Amino acid sequence: MKNKKILCCFPLETRPRDLDPRLHLGLQCVKEGYSCLIGSKSGVIKEMFSQKIQFIYFEKGLNAVDQDFYRLIKASKGAIVSLDEEGGVYNEKLYKQELLRRNKENILQFVDLIFTWGEKQKKILFENTTFPENKIISSGHPRFDLCKPKFRDFQTALLKNRIDPKIKYILINSTFTAANTILTLDEEIKLRMRARKDETLDVEYERLLYSYRKLLIKYFYELVVDINNKYPEYTIIFRPHPGENVKYYEKLFQKMKNIIVTGDGSVQEWISNSQIVLHHDCTTAIEALLSEKFIISYCKIRDNDFVQELPIKISHIANEPNQILEIINNLETSSYDEKQLEIAFNKIRPIISNVDFESSEVIIKSLKNIFINEKSDSKVIREIFFKNIIRKVNLTVKNFIINYSFRSKVKIRNKLKFPDLNKKDIIERVSLLKKIDKDLPEIKIEQTGKNTYLLSS
């Protein structure tokens, strides 16, 4: 394949989480002669079909209900690779079930390569699907590349846009989306069932999970109050999960000084200059570990039916606020030695492959083995075109039936996950990444639509 005629397409769902790692990978693709399209999912999809050239679509999470979309890609001189943004850390009891739900047989037939976070996921997919083993690549994920010391200057430079670097702060990352979105619990369940188009959602489990996470919010609020009262010299950065309702926490902490509630920027930015990182069972603990930060998992309660165990296992576990207050009192000695780091790294290596190498190098090398049709299949394209017209009509009718308040909340929810993406955001990041990777060529950045950009050399 001649790379210059191939477009690598990177849709973003959650901007704070997805932008930096996908842009980094996209730039590495450009370095190898590909061009790169990055931006909102709707913008990327519209542009990649209009380009009329061969392309590779980097799916951020395979969806069993998108079979016609994947067929259309294959019929339009496209290839599909899975680079799952949530592909490695689940509740241990539900691990296999959740991974296979995201990789169903009806869509795997259209997929060219699957990039897994680690060997554990690769083994499950190989043993429980018909997908060929040689097309399952244990690559790790670029988001973990960006946590390493090599990229510290990149993260701290971006952080300067958000906070004075001289401010000492404690970072608290929440994972309480199950109990705190702008939707009610019943509305959230309804939305997720509509998205899956089946009855696989365990509603009883979701209600129990809601109660568990709601209780955690209470305990973390009390912890924040204790830290704020005892150590007013530290700012507390409370960073909700991208799916959470930020305004809920702003109201909760509004009378307290030195507390900033923000979902702005990537979590790697905030980790980079933090004193310590607090969480319950958040994947960001892995990112903090790779950044060699001291991590505390606050487990006032812990129910293994609901937690993601790996982030807890690699953290210092505290069951009471006093334990955390004592650690803060001795921050200068709260760090890992090389032996402790290696023990923690060994716990994540089966789940996260790229502890010791860069994921982007493995991914780009594997792309060379993909076969992409040089001709479009006009028959399939016409068939799906007419099916999409019918689908849009049906969707319009359904949306009309659904009450206005619910539709409005869903729009706000999606906007929180993906605010606008400006050209200056791309330019700044490209410039910073070029300082780290001197081999990157000059990058031409062209805006092709709202929140969508074409990068080429």
Closest CA to 226 of 170, 178, 164: 170
**pLDDT one-digit tens code per residue, 269-294:** 999 999 999 999 999 999 999 999 99
**pLDDT tens by residue, 221-259:** 999 999 999 999 999 999 999 889 999 999 999 999 999
- Is the pLDDT score of 2 beyond 60? no
Backbone angles phi, psi at 255, to 5 degrees: -90, 0
From the list 19, 116, 3, 14, the residue with the least C-alpha distance to 430 is 19
140 dihedral zone (left: phi>0; alpha: psi -120 to 50; beta): left
Q: What is the pLDDT of residue 189?
A: 87
CB 112 within 8 A of CB 75: no
pLDDT in tens, 120-138: 999 999 999 999 999 999 9
Strands 452-456 and 444-449: antiparallel
Give residue 399's pLDDT: 62
| Confidence at residue 158, expressed as pLDDT on a 0 to 100 scale | 97
What is d(CA 38, CA 12) in angstroms, rounded to the nearest whole number? 7
- Predicted pLDDT of residue 400: 62
Q: pLDDT higher for 435 or 102?
A: 435
Extended strands (E) in 84-175 = 113-116, 136-138, 169-173
Alpha carbon 23 to chain centroid, angstroms: 13
Kindly indicate the confidence band of residue 1, based on its pLDDT and cuts at 50, 70 and 90: very low
- Better-scored residue on pLDDT, 30 or 191: 30
Distance CA 244, CA 408 (A): 16
**pLDDT of amino acid 404:** 67
Question: pLDDT of 47-71, one tens digit each?
Answer: 999 988 999 999 999 988 899 999 9
pTM of the model: 0.92
* Residue 43 and residue 449 in contact, taking contact as beta carbons nearer than 8 Å: yes
- Specify whether domain 3-141+355-456 bears CATH 1.20.58: no
Is it the case that residue 44 has pLDDT exceeding 60? Answer: yes
Who contacts 233 (Cβ-Cβ below 8 Å, separation ≥6)? 168
Query: Taking 80 as the threshold, does the pLDDT of residue 116 lie above it?
Result: yes
The model's confidence at residue 385, banded by pLDDT at 50, 70 and 90, is: confident
Least confident of 97-111, 156-170, 312-326, 413-427: 413-427
Task: Tell me which architecture the domain covering 149-347 has in CATH.
Answer: 3-Layer(aba) Sandwich (3.40)
Angle between helices 359-367 and 15-31 (to 10 degrees): 60
Task: Name the segment(s) of the chain with CATH classification 3.40.50.2000.
Answer: 149-347
pLDDT bucket at 197, cuts 50 / 70 / 90: low
Q: Which residue has the higher pLDDT, 207 or 410?
A: 207
Give residue 254's pLDDT.
Answer: 94
DSSP structural state of residue 373: -
Residue 103 banded pLDDT, cuts 50, 70, 90: very high
Check: CB of residue 304 under 8 Å from CB of residue 92.
Answer: yes
Q: Distance of alpha carbon 31 from its chain centroid, rounded?
A: 24
Contact 129, 108 (CB under 8 A): yes
Residue with tokens 């191939």: 6
pLDDT band at 386 (very low <50, low <70, confident <90, very high): confident
Q: Tell me, what's the pLDDT at 198?
A: 62
